[in-house]
Amino acid sequence: MSDERISPIEALPAASRAYGTIDVRSEHPRWGMAVDLERCVGCWSCAVSCKSENAVPLGMWWNRILTDGPALDTPATDEHGRHDLHWVPLACQHCDDAPCQKVCPTSATWTNDEGLVLVNQDDCIGCRYCMAACPYGVRVFNWGDAEYPVPEGTGMVATRPVGSVEKCTMCVHRLAEDQVPSCVWSCPAQARVFGDLNAPESRLVQLLGSRNAEVLLEEKGTHPKVSYLQPRRRRPIQVTAEEASS
């Protein structure tokens, strides 16, 4: 089944594919990602393509878009009651000091040579300790028989068994072919930048150096490899006399 199916990116013309290629790769890569909050429009394209790339069953998400507002369709509002349009795309942060890995009783959660935190489903006993330990809440559990929009998923990665935990792999299966993760490639606003943190000339490292990059819950000491580039400027706000008085 999986032989017949190809990644959407392979169906693209060469010029389009170039955008989805890893720019530089050092001798010992350490993969990381930056999410440009100035560019993110909260469209959920990355979340949906992640589901399709990784055969994430119905009801589960490895990657989702959060907002400071009261609900999904009601983003945060600024002090004048206008929409702030501030989104936080959230998936596994691939921490250097991953709390989930420390507590796993069978070493099913492990970090590969390139810094990616992965789950070996063969060893997962389903104790969900990693889910209690993850400060970001990005892990999901297989609570029952998985259902997919198409039978057996899209076939690009193996499906996961009932009773095991899964999460973002940074599309580790694509990296060997120099392809960036699906969420990066599919972002219409080009808000995601993937690259090698060990390659100083990579676009990722350059951006992290030139922009105000923050990580989530820095005070927890997890050292994530996903950073959020803070917006440099805001739309100038014209406060009317009426708004100022209220």
CB 142 within 8 A of CB 57: yes
Binding flags for another protein, 158-187, as an x/- string (CB under 8 A):
---xxxxx----------------------
The nearest distance, CB 73 to another protein, in angstroms, is 9
Query: Binding another protein by CB under 8 A: which of 54, 142, 154, 169?
Result: 142
CB of 98 or CB of 180, closer to another protein? 98
**Residue 90 interacts with another protein (CB under 8 A): yes or no:** yes
**Residue 103 interacts with another protein (CB under 8 A): yes or no:** yes
The edge-to-edge listing of strands for the beta sheet with 192-196 is 192-196, 31-36, 226-229, 213-214
Strands (E), the chain: 31-36, 64-67, 87-90, 109-111, 117-119, 140-141, 165-166, 192-196, 213-214, 226-229
Query: Binding another protein by CB under 8 A: which of 29, 32, 99, 195?
Result: 99
**Residue 123 interacts with another protein (CB under 8 A): yes or no:** yes
DSSP string, 141-195: E--SS---SSTTTTSSS----TT-EE----SHHHHTTTBPPHHHHH-TT--EEEE
The nearest distance, CB 222 to another protein, in angstroms, is 7
Q: Where on the chain is the footprint of another protein (CB under 8 A)? A: 57-61, 64, 66-72, 74, 88, 90, 99, 102-108, 123-129, 131-137, 139-145, 147, 161-165, 216-217, 220-222
